[in-house]
Structure 1
């Protein structure tokens, strides 16, 4: 009887171990963030294979048609591939990697508008052609070109001619930043997520992204401007933006996202937060659902948009 119980216990333990292993084997693999383009995790061989003839990369290597099949700087595309190729060249000295990186850098220089801005997607239409600060796309390109211009880090292999062109490109980008800073009620304020490439005024994108001032992207812009050699225009721009951040900060509340929804909750001890979007001229926080209608309370838009978008954050506190 004792032997039978022992055999039964052993069988149960063995089955438990088998099912545990099976469970581990068939657990879904961790997914890359939706905000990351294919080039952030693709193999180096796939990066080489997916470089477009124009020198750029699409954000999703599986895309075969439409605007998103074109070269872009959205979701970290193109500049991520260039950085990874430069790093690989430094490690291996394989000329395939330096050639592809140089081709990518030349693409970014060609992609830049004459006014200094960069579109989200190359030779595109609709909101994709706007000067794009959204998700820090243009600023991240400028950070990288700044390194290329200085021929530092993984970009020490760049020749002086391409380095000089990159320096000039960054300088033009700074001019675009200064020229797109919004003047409201006679005062410099901040920037939109995207700006019209002709008028330089804030422009809309997706239906819930209307022309407005953006605290998040403006914070990244100011942080970048602080890395530039100071002059009167840059200093005035930074001071004006910081004054605007201070004016529109929200105190006494914390922002909570959970269970597919989000809300503001009163909390006297909470650190300052900022709305994602502010109405130009009034500086009121604004919220927009998939109906495209501007609301002034987060609770007034649909739950799907409340929970599917970061409507508040502490971005300026990180400058």
Structure 2
């Protein structure tokens, strides 16, 4: 999509209203549907139609597998417990720990919860009990107190996030299994190697024709169908593909054909990042947390997450592009443009701290630098969303619940900025 049109759509989404403290309303994201694919130019339809068909078939297969397990059961097992998932699958332990019984217990649990598609759900502690016959594949990820027409409310409350890259899901399971398999040579490690390979095949199947990844696959609808940079999802999948290619992170067991596919997937992801980077005045700038799968325009996610540029995820994407060996001129330009934009957006002498009942942005001489989470792509001014879908230009106008419950200001770009000078010296 041309940059001018992309920014025009974003400006419309952020249009002002008559409310003094409210500058707009956050619109819902569009799902990836057959109707939208049919509206594409004829030459572009085939790969997207095939992608939708593959997603529909896999969703049906996943559901059928669970239904088959439940045949003959008089009582269904309870939904698995939710909780902190990534912490139960540490990737930084000494190598010998992955041969221990605690590690093997986690690995067996991971095997039991792998969906027929090959992925995993999110927000489940993997050091808990293994999955029972007929038990749901994922924990209950539905909203407990949804607002009217909530963007995050699952259409089917019994089938939500059944296979996802949100919150490091699937990526972490694959990497943990690889670490365990490295300590289990021969037949003992084969179940873990096979499961990790199924997980990689799942990620390859989920990749969009243009190189992005949705948050949930098979597709779930709503903003979950968007290209998801939020929580660094696309970047982390691309990094995992690079690990496979180079045999890093104990992934040297991956067969040649899968390594070749991973190399292609990572290169397509790099090109996707270049295509989605929003340009301002003709120069590459930043990314949104979500981009529409078809138009590549920034799009919304949850009620309070607008279609705006995002500092944290952009910094992470730039850091990833800086790791690309022998970067093309386009990659070099993308990094330099993004870094320049982040530097220009830094603010000092303010802090985001708790005052009475909620956090506020307050003056604090000597503090900073800080970055807002979101920026309007037209004005480059910070924007903030509330749970009622209202959009604001002052974080202090938000409800106390949202000011306390979301990271509106932070230092996310610091690591990337610190690494930039050394990278720039190698790529003048």
TM-score by length of 2: 0.64
CA distance in 2 between counterparts of 1:77 and 1:186 reads 36
Question: Match of 2:119?
Answer: 56
Question: Match of 1:75?
Answer: 167
Q: How does 1:171-186 map to 2 (within 5 A)?
A: 171-186=267-282
Q: CA deviation at 1:265?
A: 2.2
TM-score by length of 1: 0.85
**In angstroms, what is the RMSD of aligned CA positions?**
1.9
What do residues 42-72 of structure 1 show as CA deviations (whole Å, max 9, x unaligned)? 8211111110111001114333954524100
Give the length in aligned residue pairs.
287
Compared CA separation, residues 259 and 102, structure 1 to 2 (3 A): farther
SS class of match (1:153): coil
Structure 1 runs not aligned, ≥5 long: 1-30
Compared CA separation, residues 69 and 239, structure 1 to 2 (3 A): closer
Alignment match of 1:219 (pick from 305, 315, 318): 315
SS class of match (2:365): coil
Alignment match of 1:40 (pick from 84, 89, 93): 89
Is 1:168 aligned to 2:267, yes or no? no
Alignment match of 2:377 (pick from 257, 280, 295): 280
- More displaced stretch, 244-253 vs 39-48: 39-48
Compared CA separation, residues 216 and 260, structure 1 to 2 (3 A): farther
Is 1:233 aligned to 2:310, yes or no? no
CA distance in 2 between counterparts of 1:225 and 1:299 reads 34
- More displaced stretch, 65-74 vs 101-110: 65-74
CA distance in 1 between counterparts of 2:214 and 2:87 reads 19
SS class of match (1:154): coil
Alignment match of 2:410 (pick from 309, 313, 319): 313
- More displaced stretch, 58-67 vs 133-142: 58-67
SS class of match (1:281): coil
Runs of 4+ in 1 over 6 A off after TM superposition: none
Partners of 1:39 and 1:80 within 8 A in 2:
no
Is 1:126 aligned to 2:222, yes or no? yes
Compared CA separation, residues 208 and 90, structure 1 to 2 (3 A): same
CA distance in 2 between counterparts of 1:297 and 1:186 reads 28
Alignment match of 2:289 (pick from 182, 193, 199): 193
CA distance in 1 between counterparts of 2:234 and 2:336 reads 21
SS class of match (1:155): coil
Larger Rg over CA atoms: 1
Partners of 1:59 and 1:75 within 8 A in 2:
yes
Question: Match of 1:250?
Answer: 347
CA distance in 2 between counterparts of 1:82 and 1:173 reads 19
- More displaced stretch, 181-190 vs 166-175: 181-190
CA distance in 2 between counterparts of 1:110 and 1:66 reads 23
SS class of match (1:255): strand
CA distance in 2 between counterparts of 1:67 and 1:309 reads 26
Q: CA deviation at 1:289?
A: 0.8
Question: Match of 1:96?
Answer: 191
What do residues 140-188 of structure 1 show as CA deviations (whole Å, max 9, x unaligned)? 1111111001112311111121111111100000000000001234332
